[in-house]
Homo-oligomer: A and B are copies of this chain.
Amino acid sequence: MAEIWSILNGDEKRLIMENFNIQTYKKNQLIYAEGDEPKYLWCLLKGKVKKFKSGVGGRVQILRLIRPVQYFGYRAYFAEEPYVSSAAAFEPSTLGAIPLSIVKELIDKNINLAWFFIRELSHNLGGSDTRIVNLTQKHIRGRLAEALIVLRDNYGYEDDQSTLKIYMAREDLANLSNMTTANAIRTLSTFVNERLIAVDGRRIKLLNEPQLRKISKFG
């Protein structure tokens, strides 16, 4: 339960326990969809989750990646509006669901929990604003390099300290970096030729992280 757990007292923990519902999701299974009414605070216990939004002509943009133990699905509830994005499991995942009405009660009684969400929202908003500039201004190479770095920072490496601990489809990689699948594949290939990465199916090894960060930064 991380972070939040240490904020709560005995009674509060009990209230959560009584209303905590564990669910498993299959690969690519939808957790909630754009337009849905927010009902639960989701806590990712195991697996990986993507938040995404589809735009013009159904084109998908991946907005955020969730890792254990992170919370999501609460923003729309606090904003008193339906979800503006969808969430789906990247791989088989285990999630905990807590009714947002309960969360609301807890926040009312525990200012530290309020601060937790204020911090979380503030952090995400900064990331979102930065992302606007990155996705609109950087060129393809910069955007893909950035995506690889984001994957590294979010999910880390396998034991070899260089293989990304996430195995995603080229299409997802494209949706994360705002480009077509064909261009994601192509650009990935040029990165391989430049010895920046090594690719084996969906296994991606970052061979020159500093240079990737430079490409990501420069654009």
A contact residues vs B (CB 8 Å cutoff): 53-57, 59, 61, 63, 74-81, 84-85, 107-108, 111, 114-115, 117-119, 121-126, 128-138, 142, 178, 218-219
A132 and B131 contacting across the interface, CB-CB below 8 Å: yes
A108 to chain B, nearest CB (A): 6
Contact of A219 with B56 at beta-carbon distance under 8 Å, contacts A122-B75, A122-B78 already known: yes
B residues less than 8 Å from A85 (CB atoms)? 129
A219 to chain B, nearest CB (A): 4
B residues less than 8 Å from A130 (CB atoms)? 53, 84
A35-B55 Cα distance, complex, nearest whole Å: 32
In-complex Cβ contact of A123 among B53, B79, B122 (8 A): B79
In-complex Cβ contact of A138 among B56, B63, B74, B126 (8 A): B56
B residues less than 8 Å from A63 (CB atoms)? 129, 132
In-complex Cβ contact of A78 among B57, B76, B118 (8 A): B118
B residues less than 8 Å from A218 (CB atoms)? 56
Across the A-B interface, the 3 shortest Cβ-Cβ residue pairs: A56-B219, A79-B122, A78-B122
A125 and B75 contacting across the interface, CB-CB below 8 Å: yes
From A61, A76, A137, name the one whose CB has the most chain B CB atoms within 10 angstroms: A137
By beta carbon, the residue of chain B nearest A60 is B133
B residues less than 8 Å from A131 (CB atoms)? 132
From A79, A81, A218, name the one whose CB has the most chain B CB atoms within 10 angstroms: A79
A128 to chain B, nearest CB (A): 4
B118 and A114 contacting across the interface, CB-CB below 8 Å: yes
From A54, A57, A78, A132, name the one whose CB has the most chain B CB atoms within 10 angstroms: A132
